[in-house]
Amino acid sequence: MSGCASENLEARDERPFFQEERATETHGRKNWIDRLIEADPGQLKVEMASDYQDHPPAVIAVMPFCDKGNANFTVDKIPITFRDKDEQDQWAWTDAQRLRRSMMGYLAQREFTVINPIAVDAVLKKSGIDNIVKLRKASPVELGKLLGADALVYGEVNNYEGYYFGLVSAYQVGISTWMLATHDGETLMRETGSRYSVDISPALSPQDILVNSVMTLLEFRDVTLARAEEEVSRELVLRIPVSNKLREQMETAAIAHADKVEAEQLEADLGPSLHQPMPTSTALALATRVGRELSHFGKVNFLERPQSAIGQMNLPIAQ
């Protein structure tokens, strides 16, 4: 039995990489059963340009998302926070950038190269673009040149609020995003989606109603909100068609870079040996051998002029 066990472990250790992944198009995507069980009425809508697959963007820059809401946390549409203007500005920025980073995380897992938001924001600051009005007015073609991006992704927060009805509590997170090509400003993608993170605790007796009402209230936690952010972002990105063209380009570029690095390393390893002084006898023997090979073609007879041949070959002669 121990022998069989060791054989099985060795077989598992030797399982090959780079196999075809299964269910990549459905894993993480909610179907109607999931929405029914979780009581999630959220919807997703994705529109892609008809020629998207002809010239998909390889490098993407995700612009800062905006939140046009009042930046107060609301439950059942009623504000439960009362923030001043500075706090509202900070929270609107915070809510929007949480969804921006979540969207970027899932885009980075795809065949795209996503520019780090620190670099994007630095370029926008340098260009004096510090609010949504200026960002919308800025030319995507010019921004693409400054950022070195093939496409820009813009986003807006539609819903970021909670609901509570005793035995039912929910977070609703919704965003709209669109992607513009930087070579001509064409709209490559438009997406709108929302996610309800719902907790339902049925109860019959008054005691159960009281306890379950408290339990559903406890679902208003930051980690639950983060899960709703992640889910709406994931499902929107999953609906962007995969570009095999980009995958092949990325693989080709990576292999070419690896080959270049290996060639440079080989040259660096051989360099010192090529510059070391060579004994005169070794140089003459090498020149004689090369001369015999070339004289066969009637080009040069190194046997008649060994010293000249050595000079032409730039072979160092030991003093």
Lowest mean pLDDT among 169-178, 248-257, 283-292: 283-292
d(CA 212, CA 217) in angstroms, rounded, equals 8
Task: Give 168-189 pLDDT, tens digit per residue.
Answer: 888 889 999 999 999 999 999 9
Of the pLDDT bands very low, low, confident and very high (cuts 50, 70, 90), residue 287 is low
Locus of tokens 């010192």: 272
Residue of 20, 302, 65, 278 whose CA lies nearest to 160 = 65
Average pLDDT over all residues of the chain: 82
Q: Which long-range contacts (CB under 8 A, 24 or more apart) does 131-136 make?
A: 132/64, 132/66, 132/68, 135/63, 135/64, 135/66
pLDDT at 277: 63
Task: Give 6-60 pLDDT, tens digit per residue.
Answer: 557 677 778 888 787 787 777 777 777 877 777 777 788 899 999 999 989 999 9
pLDDT at 103: 94
- List the chain domain ranges: 27-252, 273-319
Residue 3 pLDDT > 60 = no
pLDDT at 109: 92
| Residues constituting the chain | 319
More confident residue, 10 or 159: 159
Q: If you average pLDDT over residues 239-260, what whole number do you get? A: 92
Residue 302 pLDDT > 70 = no
Task: Give 63-82 pLDDT, tens digit per residue.
Answer: 999 998 888 888 888 888 88
CA torsion, points 4, 5, 6, 8, in degrees to nearest 10?
90
Residue 303 pLDDT > 80 = no
Residue 250 pLDDT > 80 = yes
Of the pLDDT bands very low, low, confident and very high (cuts 50, 70, 90), residue 1 is low
Taking domain 27-252, whether its CATH number is 3.40.50.10610 is answered by: yes
Residue 245 pLDDT > 80 = yes
Q: Strand, helix or coil at 194?
A: strand
Residue 5 pLDDT > 80 = no
Task: Give 109-122 pLDDT, tens digit per residue.
Answer: 999 999 999 999 99
Report whether 160 contacts 69 (CB < 8 A): yes
